[in-house]
A and B are shown apart, each in its own frame.
Chain A
Amino acid sequence: WGASCLYFPQTEYTETVYIGQPAGTPLLQLHSLLDSDSERPHFYLCWNSALKIPVYSSWFNMDLHTGVLSLNKTLEESDFALLNQKWSVYKLFLRTMVLPSVPSGRQCGHRKTARIVLDFMNASVPQCAQTDPKELCFPHKDGAIPHVMENRYPGALRQLRRLSRAGACPNYTITYNVESAPFAVNDSTWELIVTAPLDREESERYRLLLVCSIRTDSVITKLETPLEVYVNDEDDNAPFINGTDTADITITYNRTKGGLFGTLYVYDRDLTSICPEPRAQCQNKYVWTSLNSDPWIKQTFDLKDAFREKKSALGGIRETVLDYQLKLKRSLVVNENRSVQLHYLVNDTTYPGLRGSVLLHFNVTILPVQIQFPNVTQVFTVSRRASVYAQVGRVCVENCPEFDGFSVSYRLELPDRNMSSSAQSCLSAISVGQSPDDQWGVLFVNDTEPLGRPECQALMYTVVAQEEHTLMEASTQIQIVLEGDASKARQESPEFSSCAGNKRRGECESMRGLGATSGRCQWRQGTERGISETYSTCSPDLRTCPDTFCDAVERKDPSICPQDCTSEEPGPVVGGYERGIRDGIQAGHGTCYCLTQRCFCEKEDDEVAICDDMCKTVIATA
């Protein structure tokens, strides 16, 4: 399984050294896990750079075959002084590598290495009587967690004995024990060994309890410490499909470039590492290939892949789920009409065995979009008193809110070319507008003069919808009924102001405002305290303003509904408010009003206070 790959089961080894420890004292032992019984590890001290070899490196010797680090010389007080250290401990850092053969140089290079950290104490070795038994059994501090690669040859993992303290108490007999298969202790070498190959897909982590027994002539002392061993993953599982390998997709109204359709799942019990591109070095590397040769398919469809990690329902072992979604590479024209079958080969390129791939299928049906209106004549009513830019209604071809990837624009035409010129002049009353991101056409009052003429009564229009790419058209008749007294409407002034400038209800409701459907502005009374989305304000039409959306008609003149359309450009809103996602005021404090595009939100002191429970009690008792 894989190439020869000696590795250290832990990345750091720590020990303490003292002044007076004699030459030849063993300090610690490294271990390397093997791929086969015939492999022989060779241990070396190595340097990152020949220029950075530390002065203390010659004090230590690494045994090539056993991995035992020992002292080359007796440590003297002058050695500690040489390090020019003010504190009582100095940390000595060494780096070590393991190779199956003799290396060409002593540079660590890009090989995986382990770090050795030795705490050099400015003190002599503690005597047996002064030593805590725990110190004899286990390292003073041990943050290194062993990691064992799955599917590898079993072997020694760690030296449990503190070699540097082995001679401290000659009358003590120290033994170790662990009772968690597949781990054991070699009684003659004090090594923790893993007795069988591990499988990460079975258990990701082993919790061991190490027991150390110190036997003297009279007593046996038992000490315990926990040790966790993690199992590293390799790509030893083939992908599989749990459920369906086929997705049936119908593409209709959403035909936009980048649109995603259907999801197929591929499972892999191995983990996928997140690593930078190119992922050549990465485990569990997946690639997909299209098995379709049709150029139209290649230009139109793409596969979007993503992977995530999930814990299996059984045993809670982590595994990988890959999601594959079909993606449109380009927007489809509305009259595109065909069915295709797409086949993709998904391959786990790092899986060494056969059957490292699965097949995914997408049955795609692309239906053409019919641009048509509902088969009824729509009737809208508009007050003869309506102001210019008053909204009358909305028009839309069938299913238009679902359209994506193409758009339909609307225009108004005369229903009959042989109309009299006076009848034609009535039709200037209404126009249609459309926001760039909206599929609806908005009918609004374009000219108020015909509204005051008695001969203009029911206005008939033909609405023509045109698709942008194919120029396909559809049309329908609409009727607009003018309501109210023409003579009264004619007396109204043709001057309009902005409703939004009013701070009070009375002034608001008596004003003839731009965009007002009934000719008069409308007042919204806020009821909430603090900064509220239902702030008090004066609007031409409470159905469309404020609704935190600056629509196609409101866009035509910034004074129609500055509450929805004000931007940071003329300066932010003054007072307590919250900005909308786009432009406009999302929420305001008290009353929000706008003068020449600058908006203010404030609570008036003399505003009629909303009667709270306290005030009701006062009124009731009075």
Chain B
Amino acid sequence: RTIAVQGRGCLLKEVHLNVTDLGLGYQTKEELIFRYCSGPCVDAETNYDKILNNLTHNKKLDKDTPSRTCCRPIAFDDDLSFLDDNVVYHTLKKHSARKCACV
């Protein structure tokens, strides 16, 4: 419900990956479903964002470029545990999104 109001475009998407694709250095044949947040956040912008946009455009903020509203996880998936090739057990925390929002 909240997601629909704050930015229709910011959505939870998923991709099927090998744990090695995550680039964290683990050597294993295990796989996972990785969920991530993606999409535009124009809908959720406020006067603050419009002003920042204008100031940056008119080069009033020197070299400073403050962060704009962006599509980020507001909740994470459950922990992921797996065995690596040396039969060592690992647990990944906060590795995959459960819920997205423009923040």
Residues of A within 8 A of B (CB): 529-531, 572, 575-576, 578, 588-590, 601, 603
List residues of chain A with CB within 8 A of the CB of B23.
603
Contact in complex: B93, A576 (CB < 8 Å): no
Question: How many B residues face the partner with a CB closer than 8 A?
Answer: 8
Contact in complex: B25, A603 (CB < 8 Å): yes
A to B CB contacts below 8 Å, 7 in the list:
A529-B25, A531-B26, A572-B93, A575-B25, A576-B24, A576-B26, A588-B25
Q: A532 — nearest CB in chain B belongs to which residue? A: B25
Among B24, B27, B90, max chain A CB count under 10 A is at B24
Contact in complex: B93, A530 (CB < 8 Å): no
Contact in complex: B24, A589 (CB < 8 Å): yes
List residues of chain A with CB within 8 A of the CB of B93.
572
Q: Indicate whether B51 reaches chain A with its CB closer than 8 angstroms.
A: no
Give CA–CA (A576, B24) in the complex, Å: 4
Q: Indicate whether B15 reaches chain A with its CB closer than 8 angstroms.
A: no
Give CA–CA (A588, B88) in the complex, Å: 14
Give CA–CA (A572, B91) in the complex, Å: 11
Give CA–CA (A589, B23) in the complex, Å: 9
Contact in complex: B88, A578 (CB < 8 Å): yes
> Can you list, as one digit per residue, whether each of B82-99 has a CB less than 8 Å from chain A (1) or not (0)?
000000101001000000
- Taking chain B's interface residues, is the majority helix, strand, or loop, or is none over half, making it mixed? loop
Contact in complex: B27, A530 (CB < 8 Å): yes
Q: B93 — nearest CB in chain A belongs to which residue? A: A572
Give CA–CA (A604, B93) in the complex, Å: 21
B85 to chain A, nearest CB (A): 10
Give CA–CA (A540, B23) in the complex, Å: 29
List residues of chain B with CB within 8 A of the CB of A588.
25
Give CA–CA (A531, B88) in the complex, Å: 12
A607 to chain B, nearest CB (A): 13
Give CA–CA (A575, B26) in the complex, Å: 10
A152 to chain B, nearest CB (A): 50
List residues of chain B with CB within 8 A of the CB of A601.
25
- Nearest 6 Cβ contacts at the A-B interface: A589-B25, A576-B24, A576-B25, A531-B25, A530-B25, A576-B26
List residues of chain A with CB within 8 A of the CB of B26.
530-531, 576, 589
A144 to chain B, nearest CB (A): 41
List residues of chain A with CB within 8 A of the CB of B25.
529-531, 575-576, 588-590, 601, 603
Q: B24 — nearest CB in chain A belongs to which residue? A: A576
Give CA–CA (A601, B24) in the complex, Å: 8
Among B23, B25, B26, max chain A CB count under 10 A is at B25
Q: B95 — nearest CB in chain A belongs to which residue? A: A574
Give CA–CA (A601, B88) in the complex, Å: 18
Q: Kindly list 7 other residue pairs between chains A and B, CB separation below 8 angstroms, not including A575-B25, A588-B25.
A: A530-B25, A530-B26, A531-B26, A578-B90, A589-B24, A589-B25, A603-B23
Within 8 A of A (CB), among B18-50: 23-27
Give CA–CA (A529, B25) in the complex, Å: 8
Give CA–CA (A11, B88) in the complex, Å: 45
Give CA–CA (A249, B88) in the complex, Å: 41
List residues of chain A with CB within 8 A of the CB of B24.
575-576, 589
